[in-house]
Amino acid sequence: MTFTDDRLRFDDLSFDTVSSCEAGPRAYVGMLSPGDLWSTFGLIEDTLLVMPPAEAIAMVGRLGSRLSAVETQILAANLADTGSDRDTENLAAKAGKTSKKQRKKATKRAKAARNNPELTDELANGDISEEQLDQLADADEKTDGAASRDEGLREKVRGSNPDQSGPIVKDFVNNHNSGRAETEHERQRRLRSVSTFRTKDGLHAVMAQGDQPTIEAIWKLLGQDADSLYNKDGGRDVPNHKHPRTTAQRLFDAFAARMTGSKGSGTSGSGSEIVLTATAQPDGTITDPQMLGVGPVPQGVFDRYLCTSTLVGAVFDGDGQNLWLGRTKRLATRAQLTGLRARDKGCVLCAASYAKCQAHHLRPYNAPVGGHTNIDELALVCTDCHHLIHDTKQTLYKNDAGVWALRPATPDEIAPTRPKDTPRPKRE
């Protein structure tokens, strides 16, 4: 096998199309020989390059998915024959996956496909993407193969984009492994530490490592303080390239201010908002404690936050619908925003952190259809997705799989363009 001008030549392999299976294992009855197959691929390549860009890219995606599905099937068959991860990783290397990480990813896909062969069909048909197959394969490792066999989970993945399916799969893993949370938390607490060192760039650094709930709370607090610094520096009224500090520098200054207690840093001085959820049973017991952004947490961690926090109550029905928060204002109240964070957990379109999200009216408040500031008519979206929805005149809705998606807005769902320089209303 040789390479010439970046094209593969099969001349030295002497593969030919034959008409009888008696020719041996290298016979391709009624099929293309590898040499003809490569020539056909060259024709496909030339055709794609003269197609309209949008059509060509879509076709490249479909072809890529089908080839990835074939590769996964081949590796799954090898894994079934040999039972060896290492042998399968070595075989994956022949497809050009030269890094150890890529070989392991390909083998992990093969394991998931062996566990549920329908995954390769879904990949080939475009029902799931390669990234979503990787999400399910990772989840399979953490759930003893339960993820790829769960039809309810796979239906949600098929009905979502990769940004949305990531949190969906993560929630499945967390719920499946909720009984293990206490042991993992205890391990993380036992190994918690803070150390100082110098980076390879000669900078002095502090590293804190420990349990996820504590690290999550610290990071949210620093994020809120850094946002205060951003607003102090001019916020959105100042172009990013003219801001005196980068995002990383604001985070450092927020950390330094918190640790040293310095004044005039622009930080709010208030605690971070940590959203905890749990299920209240009819007998009064509390089950399934979770922290937004973390997942299941041990009961002891949940109890500790309850004892040291200011509580904001929110009631939901069996479908997760918040029942009692206000309906009469244009902007969502802070209580409603907290309710949305507990319900949606992050941007419903791209899964961005809830700390970066806003309440979005499913029907614009000032559109002809007249949207309401009611919790069942609001969803949590990040700034980028919020602009995308309005700039491209789309409407957010839940599809048949129960996953948030976009469709073109009808004329009565489009809000009139706001005059330039009109001040934005403020949340009460």
For residues 37-41, give the mean pLDDT. Answer: 85
For residue 382, the cross-strand partners are 357
Give CA 278 to chain center in angstroms: 23
Q: Point out the domain boundary residue: 150, 176, 202.
A: 176
At residue 266's C-alpha, the angle toward residues 260 and 271, to 5°, is 70
For residue 229, tell me if it sits in a domain: no
In the chain, % of residues over pLDDT 70: 79
At residue 306's C-alpha, the angle toward residues 303 and 310, to 5°, is 170
For residue 218, tell me if it sits in a domain: no
Is the pLDDT at 264 greater than 90? The verdict is no
If one compares 39 and 70, the residue with the highest pLDDT of the two is 70
If one compares 363 and 266, the residue with the highest pLDDT of the two is 363
Report the distance separating Cα 315 and Cα 283, nearest Å: 17
**Pair 164, 129: CB distance under 8 Å:** no
State how many domains the chain has: 2
If one compares 98 and 376, the residue with the highest pLDDT of the two is 376
Residue type at 88 in one-letter notation: T
**Pair 95, 112: CB distance under 8 Å:** no
For residue 405, tell me if it sits in a domain: yes
For residue 95, tell me if it sits in a domain: yes
Residue 316 DSSP label? B
Rg (CA), the chain: 27
Mapping DSSP onto H, E and C, the string for 237-270 reads HCCHHHCCCCHHHHHHHHHHHHHHCCCCCCCCCC
Structure tokens belonging to residue 249? 């520098």
Is the pLDDT at 5 greater than 70? The verdict is no
Q: Which residues contact 99 (CB under 8 A, 6 or more apart)?
A: none
Least confident of 20-34, 83-97, 170-184, 232-246: 20-34
pLDDT of the residue at 88: 92
For residue 243, tell me if it sits in a domain: no
For residues 73-91, give the mean pLDDT. Answer: 92
Convert the pLDDT of each residue in 101-137 to its tens digit: 889 999 999 999 999 999 999 999 999 999 999 999 9
Is the pLDDT at 388 greater than 70? The verdict is yes
Is the pLDDT at 391 greater than 80? The verdict is yes
Task: Tell me which residue of 143, 82, 150 sits closest to 116, measured CA to CA.
Answer: 150
For residue 35, tell me if it sits in a domain: no
Containing domain of residue 78, as a range? 51-176
In the chain, % of residues over pLDDT 90: 34
pLDDT of the residue at 208: 93
Taking CA atoms, 320 is separated from 179, 316, 328, in Å, by 22, 5, 21
Structure tokens belonging to residue 334? 């802070």
Three-class DSSP category at 354: helix
**Pair 132, 162: CB distance under 8 Å:** yes
Residue 320 DSSP label? S
Question: Which residue bears the tokens 């009961």?
Answer: 299
Taking CA atoms, 285 is separated from 280, 282, 301, in Å, by 6, 7, 16
Structure tokens belonging to residue 344? 């949606």
Task: Tell me which residue of 420, 382, 374, 413 sits closest to 395, measured CA to CA.
Answer: 413
pLDDT of the residue at 177: 79
Cβ count near 331 (within 10 Å)? 17
For residue 341, the cross-strand partners are none
Residue type at 299 in one-letter notation: Q
Question: Which residue bears the tokens 């197609």?
Answer: 51
pLDDT of the residue at 207: 93
Structure tokens belonging to residue 23? 């020719």
**Pair 153, 169: CB distance under 8 Å:** yes
Report the distance separating Cα 212 and Cα 339, nearest Å: 23
For residue 356, tell me if it sits in a domain: yes
Give CA 135 to chain center in angstroms: 9
If one compares 292 and 211, the residue with the highest pLDDT of the two is 211
For residue 357, the cross-strand partners are 382
For residue 273, tell me if it sits in a domain: no
